[in-house]
Every structure is written in C-alpha cells, then in structure tokens.
Amino acid sequence: MEQIAFLMHLKKGSEAEYRRRHDEIWPELKSALSDAGICDYSIFLDEPTGNLFAVLRLKPDDMREKLPGLPVMRRWWDYMADIMDVDATNKPIERALTPMFHMD
C-alpha cells in the first residue's frame, strides 16, 4: 500500500470549525474516498502555524484522480473554502511532502 503525505493551511481562528466539520463528515464523502482507494487517512494540526499535515494510504490501483470530478467532492471543497487556503476552484491548496524516513 502506498502512503502519501501533504500540507494544507487552515485560516486563523478556524480550528474548532474545521474539527466540527470533520467530526460530522458526510457519509457519502467517506464512501467516495474509500471507493477511490483511500484508507487510513489522518489530518493533524500544527497550531502555531495553522498548517494541516495529512497522511493517507492508497490501495493498489487507487482512483483518487477521479475525486475532483465527483459532485460530493466539489460540494465538500465549497463547504470548506471559507476556512482553508484554496485555489480558484475551491480545492484546498496542497503541498506534497517528500518521504525522508520510515520505520515499520
């Protein structure tokens, strides 16, 4: 299983709202992520900077590239756009992280 990690950025003062929205994540979005081959997905907050560190595992033959075309994904991005740094399409701005060390 492939593991990837990336950074996103949360707007200052939005921490509680971000957590609330994820605590109430839509079942249809969870299904779409799982169907795309995403599993074991965690997001961590670095409070001083507002950086969100995400790490997830991808099943073989994942289809994550199809997620941006799904209506539920677009609605989630629109829903989150007011509290995160996003691009012109409301997709959260992500910066991929380079793996440097892993220990099983």
CA distance 15 to 1: 31
Let me know if 22 is a catalytic residue. Answer: yes
Among residues 11, 19, 22, 66, the one annotated as catalytic is: 22
Active site residues: 22
